[in-house]
Structure 1
């Protein structure tokens, strides 16, 4: 017997038994290949570069049944199993017993959205009598482009998916729906959008006001709570994705498959942002992250963010210094005699150091002295003892021995410069506002299609 249900209820429903059975081999294989999959790793680990899709066993033969009906269009259990495998292969996230429900939920939501999009495009084509839906040639060209971005060929990419149990047709159906809907939104609304000079100037004014603040280069994944069945579901899904990325899933691949942000198509790349451009909860998290760190899930009003901080730069008005050091290790418990001996050794070494270029070579000749490049940092971020030296030294000068909890140091000032607060230019701001508005239109369009849809499960 068939019954009607809303999209949220459908998204939260577990997949049918046949789908779970079809995926059991995939989960077992993933766990066997990655026995550490259930263990947490440091959130500071940077996501690695995109990797080839992981191999998975071929789907088992199973009797096909109906998983959902969208306005009389059928989504079969085979379609659902194929989409789950496609998500796993293209995101780099290895399914486990804990993440499998999330994969099933995301796969079913994606399939429903694509059916709604294709139904709407067919309706418009029939009414307006012009071609909207992408042709087979368009799909092949998009696949070629995707493969090129991943330094492979279309044939190799499809072969890798086949090893993961994903048919070429399943991949092509997803690509066809994506590019058809993207081009339709751009074609219908893009020419009507007008980004006014007042809007651009408002953004420029905001960026200038924020020029003295730090700027962050970030990648993002945004889980839309309304799309996945609520905030709790979004948090649970985000935590599972964070765990998988800590264990090696590429951030960009995860963003492309799971993020509801407009940046998903670019692998989550949001570029350089300033405080105030994202929700306050994200700004607070960014202040605590260092370049190369992955955030924990960040709940916001309408969903959950995962942020990867790629880089950070100081705002205008800050002073950046480059430092090198020659040091002798001395624990905090060192005797006064040890401290005096180390001080005498560094004092004798200091006159021989003729600037930063000679520091390492001079230090290498002194037993027990270790030299190193401390890199570039804001003066305000330095330890108090080093900050004082950096403020008073001239470029090329070497400090007196500095005592810290871990040793005795000579610090050389290699460079000093004012930080440049960089902002987006006119065209970059216009393109960003244009993309944001198109994304908002698309999301509203989809909300309307979902609210008027008849979606049934058996």
Structure 2
């Protein structure tokens, strides 16, 4: 205020020395009717006055705000954290992704493929529902992480546009013969009992000119994955394969169905493991093994159980020493349950709660319980598990429906071969779009 008063005083002195005529009468304030406060209190985040273009792709703009908000999605996928020394590199990768996304939308638009707002709304509702949220709650969560619902809408639009364009321009030109499907089925029958894998893939395209940079990027991604980042989240943001939209999921595959460098790596991996970067034709892949099973053999973990769960709880503040005799008696009762009907008696004797489930897959249980349940027979119960604080429980098997063999059908093999060829052509198509695009960086 003092500085402002001083400036006004100097200006007044200069005006007097110029002996200028007196100023005209003050003009009425045009905002008087709004009754605005003299010192307004601001809420929320101030929007930048100018949003500068970072890139212009065939006349359409990607802004720094677009990059920041898409980076926010990546932060969420990474558990809310990103190493400070990685941010600049990730921004460059996000910019490349946004350019590809815009090229895909433009290519779809050129083929009269328009993604309607209602299609995006339905996908958003499904995404929010999968996270047990409304779209409004999802929007608030995105904003809390520096992103926005509009950024997610744009990503969904790109994925839908590219998927529809592939169906229109690529899938229609791909053919798979019955003899090819039969050859795969024959090889699978010959490989009966060997292992197959549920695989996720992150693919980064590379050529002789940028192979070292692509490998460096792959190693950075691998570092984040080994620090707990979401494989599916990184696949959606970084993978250049058509499976990016489904988190890189390749489904169930046998090593011989994949390029040899990947096949050789898979044979050395187990569930939950992520590979080092693998050089393949056209680029670099990182693969993750989500699960394994035997080819054309029934997997006991796919058995469907009918279960009764008996839970007992303890008074708040009870010590472990006080609780252990009760748990011991509970364990003894479980060992002598006497069939599924005995679960009701145990619940009554221990004043416990009983819950029944008739469609429980062993595969869906926690791994520790899977190992316990696999050898148990109908009428047997698990040992007690849980905690003194949250309660202790047992599971009693009332029925077991063993899994059928996992032989794929003719249609399933056809679909997989078709997807592989579509994926290869889609990568080439996107490469051509990049080559022909007019891109300006600002």
- Structure 1 regions of 5+ residues with no counterpart? 1-56, 126-131, 321-356, 359-371, 377-419
How far is 1:59 from its partner? Answer: 8.8
Q: SS state of the match for residue 98, structure 1? A: helix
In structure 1, what is the equivalent of residue 249 of structure 2?
269
Tell me if 1:240 matches 2:224.
Answer: no
8 Å CA contact 1:217, 1:311 repeated in 2: yes
Which residue pairs with 1:328 in the alignment? none
Q: How does 1:349-364 map to 2 (within 5 A)?
A: none
* SS in structure 1 at match of 2:440: strand
Matches within 5 A, 1:18-33: none
Q: Does 1:164 align with 2:145?
A: yes
Superposed CA deviations along residues 84-116 of structure 1, whole A, max 9, x for unmatched, are 223333454732233223321221112212222
For residue 274 of structure 1, report the CA deviation from its aligned partner.
Answer: 1.6
1:134 positional shift: 0.9
1:58 shift after superposition: 6.6
Who is 1:70 aligned against?
57
- State the secondary structure of the residue aligned to 1:270: strand
Cα separation, 1, equivalents of 2:110 and 2:167: 18
1:454 equivalent in structure 2: 438
Residues of 1 paired with 2:138 and 2:128: CA distance? 6
Of 209, 216, 224, which aligns to 2:205?
A: 224
Q: Does 1:123 align with 2:104?
A: no
Matched, 1:438 2:418: no
Q: Do the aligned residues in 1 keep the contact of 2:206 with 2:283 (CA within 8 Å)?
A: yes
- 1:393 alignment partner in structure 2: none
* From 98, 104, 108, the counterpart of 1:111: 98
Contact 2:74 2:233 in 1 (8 A): no
CA contact (8 A) 1:314 1:421 kept: no
User: Could you tell me which residue of structure 1 aligns to residue 411 of structure 2?
Assistant: 427
5 Å-filtered alignment, 1:193-204, equals 193-204=174-185
Cα distance change on mapping 1:66 and 1:150 into 2, 3 Å:
same
Residue 179 of structure 1 deviates from its aligned partner by: 0.9
Preserved contact between residue 198 and residue 252 of structure 2 (Cα < 8 Å):
yes
CA 209–89 in structure 1, closer or farther in 2 if over 3 Å, else same? same
* 1:423/1:236 CA distance change after superposition, 3 Å: farther
Whether contact under 8 Å (2:57, 2:438) holds in the other structure is yes
- The secondary structure found in structure 2 opposite 1:138 is helix
Task: Considering Cα pairs closer than 8 Å and 6+ residues apart, tell me whether 1 or 2 has the greater RCO.
Answer: 1
- Contact 1:210–1:274, Cα closer than 8 Å, also in 2: no
Q: 1:102 to 1:425 in 2, by over 3 A?
A: farther
Does the CA-based 8 Å contact 2:195-2:293 persist in structure 1? yes
- Structure 1 length as normaliser, TM-score? 0.58
Task: Identify the range of structure 1 (91-100 vs 234-243) with the bigger mean alpha-carbon deviation.
Answer: 91-100
Question: Does the aligned pair in 2 maintain the 1:210–1:275 contact within 8 Å?
Answer: no
TM-score normalized by the length of structure 2: 0.60
**Structure whose alpha-carbon radius of gyration is higher:** 2
CA RMSD between the two structures:
3.5
Once the two structures are superposed, what CA deviation does each residue of 1:281-312 show, in whole Å capped at 9, x if it has no partner?
Answer: 22232232222222232333432222222223
Does 2:156 align with 1:175? yes
1:133 CA displacement: 0.9
Shift of 1:212: 4.6
Within 2, Cα distance between the matches of 1:61 and 1:219? Answer: 40
* Aligned partners of 1:212 and 1:421 also within 8 Å: no
User: How far, CA to CA, are the matches of 1:232 and 1:203 in structure 2?
Assistant: 35
Q: Distance in 2 between matches of 1:98 and 1:455?
A: 27
Which residue in 2 is equivalent to 1:25?
A: none
Equivalences for 1:289-328 in 2 at 5 Å?
A: 289-314=269-294
Is the CA contact 1:293–1:309 (under 8 Å) kept in the aligned structure 2? yes
Q: Which of residues 156, 161, 165 is equivalent to 1:184?
A: 165
Equivalent runs, 1:394-405 vs 2, <5 Å: none
Give the SS at the match of 2:252: strand
Distance across 2 between alignment mates of 1:71 and 1:374: 55
8 A contact 1:281–1:300 mirrored in 2: yes
CA distance in 2, matches of 1:425, 1:315: 13
Change (3 A) 1:247 1:301: same
Contact 2:295-2:407 at 8 Å conserved across structures = no
